[in-house]
Structures are given as C-alpha cells and as structure tokens.
Structure 1
Amino acid sequence: MLYGILAAATALLLAALLAALLRGPGLRAGVVERRQPGAARRRPVPLLGGVAVLAATCLVAWAGEWTHVAPLGDGVGGLLPAGAAVAALGLAADVWRLRARVLVAGTAVAAACVVPYDETGVPAGILAAGWIVLVALAFRALDHADGLAGTVGVITAFGVGACAAAEVMDGLAVLLSVLAAALTGFLMHNWHPARIGLGTCGSLFTGFLLASAAVFTRAGHGLGEGAGVLFSLTALGTADLALVVVSRRAARRSLLRGGPDHLGHRLRRLGLTPQGTVVLLGAGAFSGVLVGVLAHTGWAGDGAVLWVAGGALVVVLLLLRIPVYGPRRITSSQVRGQLRVRSG
C-alpha cells in the first residue's frame, strides 16, 4: 500500500514536470494541433503530452518490477512493452500523419500479443484483441477536447484497478494507479485552455493499456458477462465512437474524415462550456465504470449492465439530432463537371 502511494505520487509529479518541459519543443518542432475555444481565434496545442504520460508510467512501473517491490505478475509484464510500441506508433502519427489503417494494424498486432489465450481461449481471445483495438481508437477519438481523454482515462484506470484488486492482481492494480496518477499530472497542463495535448501517442497508449488490463481482469469469466463488464468500463468511449460512425455514415462522409461530430462537440452546441462538457462526460464515464466494477465484484447483476447499454443508446440517438455538419462544399472539379454535363 505504501509503495503504491509513493509510486503514484512519483508518477504524478514526473508527468507534470515532463509535460511542462515538452511544451516548448513541441511548439518549435511544429507537432501541434489547432483547437478552437471560440469563434474568434484558434490556438496551437503541442501534442507531446502523451510522451510525458508514457515516460512517467513506464519508468515508475518498471522500477517496481526491477526492484521486485511491485512485480507486475505473469503475462502482465508484457503490457508495458506492447503499450510502448503502440505509443511509438502514435508518436509517429503525430509527427508524420500516418494513415489510420497503419495505426489500426499496428495496434491489432500489439493487442494480439498481449491477450492471455490460455485463459480466454483462441476465439474469445481474438474477440478480446479486437475489443482492445476498438477501445484504443475510442480514446484517440476522445482527445478532441481539452481535458476529456485524460479525465476519462483517470476514471477508467481507477475502475479497472479496482477490478484488478478484487482479483488479487496487485501488480496490475499498482500499474493502473500509476497510469491514473500520470494522467492526473498531465491534466494539470491539459485543462481548458490546454497548454499541451495528449496526442495520438498518449491516447492510444492509454486506451490500449486500460483495455488490455481489463481483459486480464476478466479472463476466465464467461464470455457474455465478461463482455458486459468490459463495455460498462469503457461505455463513454464506445458511445462516442458509435455516434461518430453513425452520423458520418448517415451524412455519407468518410469515416476517416474528421469533423465536429463527437460527444463534446455536440454538447458545446447545446451551450455547455468546455469545462462543463468535460465534467458532464466525466460523470457519465464514472457511472458506467461504477456499474462495471459492481458487476465484476458481484454487487450488481447483469441488468445493471443493460441499463448502461440502454443509457448509451439513448444518448447517441438524442445527440444525433443535433446538426453538426455545414453545407457540403463543391470543389472546382465538380463545378467543371456539372458545366460539361449541362453544355453537352
């Protein structure tokens, strides 16, 4: 217990310090994203905050493993190398704008390497690997608003950590507490208006590590009830991803084309402030995580998980009614094509 508190405090301070130090290099290197807090101006946000979270989490967790004070346990030790590889792929995407299919393929390979097939079986293990990829991409999508991905990550890390503690997986519980602390240190610089962003590096790493850890805690349980608990633990990210996919399909837009169509964007259109949006979505994430923890520990039945799924569905259907896409722009080539048709 004492080591866990010390490790979390170290990760928090280290992530906060590294995030502050990496802001300048990120701006000078041009690794930035422009976010719009209002209609008046746009501001550059450096995207190296994920490097700070990655470094703080790995250094503190590996220190516990190396000193044998808090060993991660059989199989769990592979999560950090795989997560670091996914983070490196995300950093390459932040710097060089890799194609989405490259991110999906790389994350899928890493997920396939960490799934405990001896406990899940091969068919369920393949499904688990796909779910890990889905959650990692969902966390990447959540990084569209200041403080959102970090806040949801902290809440989810505490929930999955509680599930790990219930399974007496102390090393995994310590790892998740270290991740939560590192994200908290990062959030000191990411709360609106953000001075540094998580980026693809940090968001993929966070989602991958949380989803993989959740799979470890549910390995050996039934497939149906396990899927319900896993969904509850990550219900907010799943709802956001579903909302984006459905809305873009309905508008006949490419799924890979960005747009102001996420949960946070739509709530902002209803008049919520950036801070209020994060607080509201954080409360939604906490509700799903709480139900997942209670279902995992046996304090809640399968019906509670169905309530989470139903609530997520209602939210998606209601927010789909909010218009987010402007009129489609007609390119010069389309105009010339229309003129040729008319003249012919």
Structure 2
Amino acid sequence: MAAPPEPRRDPARHDQRGPRPVNPAIVLGTAVSATVVGALAVEPLRRLALRVGLVDHPGGHKAHRAPTPYLGGPAIILGTAVAGVADDPRVHALLFGGLVFALVGLVDDARPLGRLPRLAVETPTALLVAVNSVRADLTGVSWLDVTLTATWLVFAANAFNLLDNMDGALGAVTTATGLTLGAAALAAGSGPVALVPFALAGSAAGFLVHNWTPARIFMGDCGSLFIGFTVAGCALLVFDGPFHAPAGALLATFTATVDTGVVLLARALHHRPLTCGGTDHVAHRLRRVGLPAPVIVYGLAASAAVSGALAVAMTLGLLSPLVALSGAGTAAVAGVLAFQQVDVYRVAVTA
C-alpha cells in the first residue's frame, strides 16, 4: 500500500520555522539602542509638532487639560526600526505593514479620517503582510488562514489604538508586552523575531519617560496603530498551530482585547455609537471607582505582564495551549462582564 501523501506546506513560511538562536549581545544591544533612540527622538519631534501645530487640544471626551503635541509615535517607530537588522524576511514584512498602519495613523492625527478610509488602507496592508508569511496556520487552507490573520491584525491594531486613553497606559503595556513576547520568541527558538518585541519594548520605555502623567507628548494614532499591528504580527510569528496561535495571540493582546470588549459591549447595551471616542474604557472605569492614574497604569501593565508570562510558560511547555486558550478566553469574558458593573454613563447630579 502506498504511503499517504504528506500535508502541503508553504515553503516561504515554514522554511523560517526551525530554531534560530541569536547572540544574546545582539538582543541586549537592540533593546538598549531602541530605548535610547525612543527617549532621545521625542524632544525634537515634540518641538516639530508644536511648530507645525500637530497638537491635541482638550475638550469633549478628552481628559487632558492642556494642549499636548503628538508625534511621539515616530519616536517609537524609529526605536523599533533597530530590529530591522534581523535576517528574516518575515520581520521585514511585519515592519513594513506596521509602517503603513503608522502612516494611516499619522494622517488621522493631522486630519481625522473616518473608519472606512482607514479600513480601506489597513485591510489590504494586512492581507499583503499575511500573504508574505506573517500568518497563523489554523485551518491549513491558505486563503482562509490569510483572511483570518488579516482580520485579526486589523482588529488588534485598532484595539491597541483604543487602549491609548490615559497618560502612560499604552507605553507601559507595550513595555511589558514586548519584554514577555520577546522572551517567548527566544524560548521558541525564534531569535530574529525576538528582536522586534524587545526593540518595541525598549522604544516604548524610552517614550514613556516623556509620556508619564502628566504627559508632555502623546504617541497619537501613528504610534498606537503601529504598536498594535507589530505586537499582533509578532505573536503570529512566535506561536504556530491550531491552538498555539490563537492562545498566544490572545495572551499577547489580552489587556487591549478586554478593553475593546468592555467598550463595545457597553456601547451596544446602552445604544451608543460603537466607534466614537469616549470615557468608557477600563482605565476610565477604574478612575471612576477612585483609583489614581499611576495605580491604574501599573495595573494595566501588570495585566499585560501576567498574560505575557503565561504565553512564555506555554512556549516552554509548562502550560497546555488548550488550557491557555480556554483560560485566557474565560478570563477575558469575565473581565468584560465585570467592568460593565461600573457605570460611566450616568451623569452625577449635584445640589
């Protein structure tokens, strides 16, 4: 009897899959260089933003009280670009996609775009990156995996965009996520891929020096979309397989995913527009119950660190992917439901 045929493989994707260690000195140098670049690039970008009028003015649902310049995002991108030394075409495809998302965000910072124009650029970019081997192998059907991956990349990028709603919040979450995702990549033997989250963590930490409350500069949609896309893409490069991929993707984006779930469910229940800005995010709800802003930021970062640590444990074989996926999914649903108990829509009436 003839042997059954082997399953079809995508050489462009799987030839990169074997263990590829990287010199620890390169990892450390990448992280340190990104931190320095991220910290030093902020001030000239801040002055440029003030000169050209790229400033976020207070008012409406916005919590800051003074005009604050944008352009922190390019500092994070410049720091992360240090990872471009990685000898891996998937990394280059990922950074290209992140840059396109960042450009969409930069245009939106300068002149707000509607959701449809943003999606009109984000969707084909995500599809192009997925075709170039940055994707999850969930079904074994190439076109379906590409479609699912592109959908996830767009969702995650915009989820991180929504999480940028308090001074220092996204910078702290990105630092924690980048460090744990980089550790997971090293544990999985994906040395070149590990350079990206470590560089992202370093650049976010450098930016955070200027963005800690009260923030002197914001990263804007340019920075938050870049971060979300890069984190989501890195997770797909580190975690592969029907259970590993979704578990790793959810754990790497857990904090942002829960925040988006909280907002979407609350707005649906209260018949409010789903895509408008508002003060109904997790950070705002924690503020509503009396927690100070720095404590909230530390809490969000801790949440990202814990979920990231679980992803590392899964990579090391200490945690079953199925258990990790079901546990993270259950925790996410519980968090979304629990935060609905904090009423942020009721207007306080004073005598």
TM-score greater than 0.5 by the shorter chain: yes
Work out which of the residue numbers 76, 80, 87 in structure 1 matches 2:102: 87
CA shift, 1:118, in A, is 8.6
Q: What corresponds to 2:261 in structure 1?
A: 242
Matches within 5 A, 1:6-25: 6-25=29-48
Structure 1 position 274 matched with structure 2 position 296 = no
Within 2, Cα distance between the matches of 1:200 and 1:118?
Answer: 24
Within 1, Cα distance between the matches of 2:96 and 2:199?
Answer: 16
Deviations 1:243-296 (A, max 9, x none): 110111111111121111000000000111110001111111112111122123
CA contact (8 A) 2:31 2:202 kept: yes
Normalising by structure 2, report the TM-score. Answer: 0.84
Q: 1:95 to 1:119 in 2, by over 3 A?
A: closer
Work out which of the residue numbers 88, 94, 104 in structure 2 matches 1:73: 88
Q: 1:150 to 1:173 in 2, by over 3 A?
A: same
Q: 1:144 to 1:229 in 2, by over 3 A?
A: same
CA shift, 1:40, in A, is 11
Q: What corresponds to 2:5 in structure 1?
A: none
**DSSP-derived class of the 1:197 partner:** coil
CA contact (8 A) 1:91 1:200 kept: yes
CA contact (8 A) 1:19 1:189 kept: yes
Within 2, Cα distance between the matches of 1:260 and 1:205?
Answer: 23
CA contact (8 A) 1:136 1:203 kept: yes
Normalising by structure 1, report the TM-score. Answer: 0.86
* Counterpart amino acid of residue 90 in structure 1: G
Return 5+ residue gaps in structure 1 as ranges: 65-70, 328-344
Matches within 5 A, 1:1-344: 1-34=24-57, 42-58=65-81, 60-62=82-84, 64=85, 71-115=86-130, 116=133, 120=137, 121-219=142-240, 221=241, 223-301=242-320, 302-326=322-346
Within 2, Cα distance between the matches of 1:282 and 1:311?
Answer: 16
CA shift, 1:218, in A, is 2.2
CA contact (8 A) 1:111 1:212 kept: no
Q: 1:2 to 1:94 in 2, by over 3 A?
A: same
Deviations 1:216-267 (A, max 9, x none): 1223x1x234212211221111100011101111111111211110000000
The percent of aligned pairs where both chains have the same amino acid is 33
Within 1, Cα distance between the matches of 2:63 and 2:293?
Answer: 15
**DSSP-derived class of the 2:68 partner:** strand
Return 5+ residue gaps in structure 2 as ranges: 1-23
CA contact (8 A) 2:93 2:134 kept: no
CA contact (8 A) 2:135 2:236 kept: no
CA contact (8 A) 2:127 2:147 kept: yes
Within 2, Cα distance between the matches of 1:151 and 1:177?
Answer: 14
Q: 1:53 to 1:275 in 2, by over 3 A?
A: same
Coordinate RMSD, CA, aligned: 2.1
- Structure with greater proportional helix content: 1
More deviation, 81-90/291-300: 291-300
Within 2, Cα distance between the matches of 1:164 and 1:242?
Answer: 27
Deviations 1:56-105 (A, max 9, x none): 222x233x2xxxxxx33132221112211111111000001111222233
CA contact (8 A) 1:78 1:114 kept: yes
**DSSP-derived class of the 2:335 partner:** helix
**DSSP-derived class of the 1:75 partner:** helix
Query: Hey, which bits of structure 1, 4+ residues long, moved more than 3 A?
Result: none
Q: What corresponds to 2:18 in structure 1?
A: none
CA contact (8 A) 2:136 2:245 kept: no
CA shift, 1:4, in A, is 2.2
Within 2, Cα distance between the matches of 1:255 and 1:118?
Answer: 28
Within 2, Cα distance between the matches of 1:118 and 1:51?
Answer: 26
CA contact (8 A) 1:72 1:170 kept: no
* Counterpart amino acid of residue 77 in structure 1: H
